[in-house]
Each structure stands twice: as structure tokens, then as C-alpha cells.
Amino acid sequence: MRVHQSSSNMRATLKMVLMGMATTALLSGAAIGQTAATPATTAPAAVSAFIASDVQVSPHRTNPFERGGRIANGRYWLRDATMEDMIAAAYAVSPSHVFGGPPWIEWDHYDVSAIAPVGTTQAQAMKMLQALLTERFGLTVNPDTKPLPTMALMLGKGKPKLKESGEEDNPDGSSASTGECKFNPPAVKPPPGVQPDISFSCKSMSMEKLAGNLRYWGFGYYPDDGFVLDQTGLKGNYDFDLHWSQKSNMAKEGADGITIYDAIEQQLGLKLGKTTAPQPVMNIVAVNETPTPNAPDLAKKMPPLPPPEFEVEVIKPSRPDETQLNGRINGGQISVQYVTPQFLITFAWQLTDEMLANPPKWLNDDHYDIEAKAAAPPPTPGAKSNAAPDFTMDDLQHMLQVLMEKRFNIKWHMEDRPVEAYTLVAVNPKLAIADPNNRTACKEGPGADGKDPRNTNPALGRLLTCTNITMAQFASQLQTQANGYVHTPVVDATGLTGHYDLTLSFSASQQLQGSAMGPGKKVDDSASDPNGGLTLFEAMSRQLGLKMEKTKRPVPVLVFDHIDPKPTDN
């Protein structure tokens, strides 16, 4: 999963619960938003294209991030993917290793759905995506290899702390490992104040496979769009346990926290670090921004799938001794504890609290535990049987909408109403004119110069780098990129018409909420923190010469026509 914003966004990574469940699913190899294991059967070798495909510009989403790139219930799906993302998914390269192309390569987002032949493997689906990009976008690429920075798993200073599994390698020296790493889910009800670690138990695991897993396990610690190379030189297969703290929890855990780097060194006797090595790259030769139209008989060839739904759902009030929001996904089962109805509604409808019109007070005061099991999908034509329920993050949001509508008898509509919102204005602009040939993009992390103020001042937990961007485009990113500060769309009123490069270094909102701002206090346009923190507003003024002015203007909000104060009986 390549997230196009910081890990502190996406509704604070769904406040590290429901979207944290997506991260958990990613780490454990579950269905949501991540490439799944390939089916056991194989499609005919001659099949090299999808049976039918639907390609569209992605609709506006409050928290857009690329997800999918896999087959679920007979359909290949990819959501909110840029052309860079799609090339990376099709050719198994890091998105940052896609070079060339026009400026929109990292800006425009697309949704792809396609019917794959029964038994299509992940490798075959990649070939089919290659053919789709050529046919629908006129894509031409040249593969190459370049020495580039990457992460690597290496030997530590002492002897590795690994137990040999006894499984022997192949005669040619290649690994025969069929091992796996089992994700150890956190306790459903952890003690108050305890932050759950990420924990795996691995059996008969090669270092090559471990390095492959670390590409995703390092979410938040290092760029997750690249690869981790195995440079240990160890050829055996091993049994081991590994646990570490989520990057977003390190500040809360203090001395009890352990980074993924320290965990690998202390628990495995290995080292995870940066290196430079030859990497596969893709050079874009030609590509069209607008895909060819969908087939006129697409609805007949690819009828919509039945909407996903929960088969079993239990909602009950949280116990009085519960104080911590927690949740997990295990296969097709969802478990959430100490969650408010308002929290579920804002996630399911992709809204912020400010985009709910006059919500009743109990909506954010009452807490519930929810256990739900997804219904098995209908049989795929031609397939022998269906696996366990398989759903996407989009499916989960839809299922939660249906659950809340049914159990709380919600009747609603969207309506434009005046709410507090920000307008971006220019005071004394400090912006660099962009090279029009560079890509239009806004990313978390340092720019081409590699300078990262977070290394010297951890209180500045956010670093946003934008290239070849207009002020209207910059304003459109702030609700996503500055989650915690900005809760509604921002309007550009700077009057600046050029394309610019900029970097913005500021503190994550939760960093300030826990210090000088006071616990639970919302961050507004207050001054900087005496501990070195800097609000978004102060940073924009000092670093960019821009100002965020708070006004009231019409914004689409969800209006409750009716909602019951208690859920229906189980």
C-alpha cells in the first residue's frame, strides 16, 4: 500500500484503529488494500489480457491513497492510483523508480476494475495490467537498471540470534523455504494506556523472504514504496519472533517503545539500514493522460458485483471499565471496542466531525463494542469454490454505512451549509518558481536536496514537499496533508497564478495537543510550542509567507433526517 500522505493523516490513520486495522491487515497479509497471495490454480498461458476493463478518473475522496493491485472475487481492482503507481504495480518496481513522463504522472488518479480469467495468478494479473496500460493509455516504457538508495537487511556486529529451522536449501543453493510469518494480533482489550506492538512469529523463514516482508512492515519508519534487499549472506531457513512499536506510538510509549531498527538488532542480531544498489527502473517513453473510452457494452460484460454486507453483526454497549478505542480485522471478521457512533459515521462516509450537521451529543458520548462477520461472496463462475470473505477498504466503508443505517435507523442527505473553513491568502510570498517540466506532486518527506529538519528537531514531525504545483492545487491538498489542523476543504484566494516548489516543516497536530496546547485541545492558529514545535499556521507564515484565514462558507455536510439514540436489538 502506498499512502499519498503522512501516517498521521487518513483520519489519523483512522485514529490508528479502523485504518490501523487496514495496516494490521496489510502486515498480516489479509485482504484489505494489499496484494494478496496468488490463487493456487493458473490461468491458461495464452491469456494475456483482462476479459473486460473499466478505467475511470478517480472520484474526489477526502483521504485518497492508492490501494489494491490484486484480484478479489474474480475482479482485479486498483483505486486512487496515479500513473506512477500503475506502472509500479504492473512491472513490480518501486513507484519512486519510475522515471520520465509528463508532469501529471504523480498527480492524476485513476480507478481500474477488470474481470480476470478464473485462476489468474498475481504474476499473470501484472502482465494483464501491462497490456491494459498499453491499450488504454498508450503507455510505452523502457526497462533499465540504476544504482539507487534502498534499504537492506545486513549482518549485525555479533552472531545472528536466529534458530535454524532444519529445512534444507535446494541443491543449487537457492532457498527452498515455504515458511511464513504469522501475525500476532494485539489483545482485543489491552490494559489502559498500553500501546499494542506489531508482533510476528516466523517459521522456516529465509532471509530473502524476511527482507521482502520488511518492505511493508516498516510502515512509517522508512519509505514503503521501495524494496528491502537481503545482504545478510545467510542461506538457511530460520524460526524467530519479532516485535516492535508502531512509529506513531513511539512518543506515547517513551522508554518502553522499540523501533523496528532496534528490534531487528536486539532480537535477531541483524541490521536494517540504508545502502546503494542496482535497482530495476522503468523509463516512460510515451503515455496519454486520458484513457480510451470504456467498451459500450461494458455493463453487459462486467455487471456490478452485489454490494458487500455483514452476515452477522453484534452491537452492545462498552463495559464501564473500557477506556481505549481498539479494533482488528481477522479474515472476514471485524472487531471494534469502545467506539462511538460518530466515529464510525465519519469513517464510513469519509467525513470529518465538522462535516456533520448538528449531531446529537450522545453520538460522540456513547461507546459500543461491535463484532461483525462479512458475508461470503457469491460463487465466481467457473471456480470450484470461494475462499473466505474478501473485501476492500472501500467495501468496509460501505458495509459500515449499511450497518449504521440499519441498526440506528439513520436517514440522511448531503446539503451545503455554512461552516468554519480556511481560505489561503498571500501576505509576503516566499515561493520558488518551478521548472514546468518537473512533476506535479506533494509528498511527505524531503525533496531532492535530502534535507530533513525532523532529524535535528523531532518536534517538527511533518515535512511536506511540493513540486510544480499551483496554489489552487496546494490548497486542495491541505485537508488531507494537514489532517488535525484542517477539517474542511481550503479555498485558494492568494491570487498567485504560477507553478511553485515549496517545503513546509511543522508539527503534527497530536504533537502539540499533548504538550503546550493541553490534552485534547484543538490546534488552531496559536503560536508555536516552546519545546520547538510549530503549528501549521505559524509554519506557513514564516516559511511560505502565506496565511490561513478562518471564515464561514457553504460546505457539503451530512444532515440527519432521523437517527435513533440506541441501536436495534441484536
- Reading the block at residue 540, the C-alpha cell is 506557513
Q: What does 534-554 look like in DSSP terms, one character per residue?
A: --HHHHIIIIISEEEEEEEEE
Cβ atoms of 29 and 36 within 8 Å: the answer is: yes
Separation between Cα atoms, residue 342 and residue 408, nearest integer Å? 11
118 and 52 co-located in one domain: yes
64 three-class SS: coil
Whether residue 402 is found in the same domain as residue 459: no
Residue 21 within a domain: no
Q: Looking at the domain assignment, is residue 153 inside a domain?
A: yes
pLDDT exceeds cutoff 80 at 244: yes
Query: Which grid coordinates belong to 88?
Result: 509500479
- The answer to whether residue 385 scores a pLDDT higher than 70 is no
The span from the CA of 49 to the CA of 47, in Å, is 6
408 inside domain: yes
Could you tell me if 489 and 477 lie in one domain? yes
Q: How distant, in Å, are the alpha carbons of 31, 81, 450 from that of 213?
A: 16, 22, 26
Residue 5 in any domain: the answer is no
Question: What range does the domain containing 155 cover?
Answer: 144-167+176-284
E strand residue ranges, 303-375: 310-317, 326-330, 333-339, 356-357, 368-374
**Contacts of 169 by beta carbon, 8 Å cutoff, 6+ apart:** 175, 176, 235, 236, 237
| In a shared domain, residues 329 and 377 | yes
C-alpha closest to that of 164 among 243, 63, 235, 248: 235
pLDDT digits (tens, 9 = 90+) for 269-306: 999 999 999 989 999 999 999 999 999 999 999 998 88
pLDDT at 563: 96
**What is the pLDDT at residue 32?**
38
- Largest alpha-carbon pair distance within the chain? 71
List pLDDT tens digits, range 7-28.
233 333 333 344 444 444 444 3
Q: Which tens digits make up the pLDDT trace of 298-327?
A: 999 999 888 888 888 999 999 988 877 877
- Extended beta strands in 404-451, E state: 411-426, 432-433, 441-444
Do residues 459 and 378 share a domain?
no
443 is a domain residue: yes
Percent of the chain with pLDDT over 90: 52
Does position 400 have pLDDT exceeding 70, yes or no?
yes
pTM of the full predicted structure? 0.81
DSSP string, 138-197: --EEEEEEEEEEEEEEEE-SS----EE--PPPPTTS------EEEE-PPPSSPPTTPPPP
Q: What pLDDT is recorded for position 80?
A: 93
Neighbouring-strand partners of residue 333: 330, 373
Asked if 410 and 404 touch (Cβ cutoff 8 Å), the reply is yes
Has residue 28 been placed in a domain? no
341-367: pLDDT as tens digits: 999 999 999 888 889 999 999 999 999
Give the count of domains, the chain.
4
Amino acid 366 reads D
pLDDT at residue number 485:
92
Tell me if 518 sits within 8 A of 546, measured CB to CB: no
Distance in angstroms (rounded) separating the CA atoms of residues 343 and 35: 28
Residues 434, 552, single domain; the answer is yes
Residue that finishes a domain, picked among 93, 121, 140 = 140
Domain identity same for 452 and 493 = yes
Q: What is the mean pLDDT of the chain?
A: 82
Could you tell me if residue 392 is inside a domain? yes
Residue 545 contacts residue 430 (beta carbons within 8 Å): yes
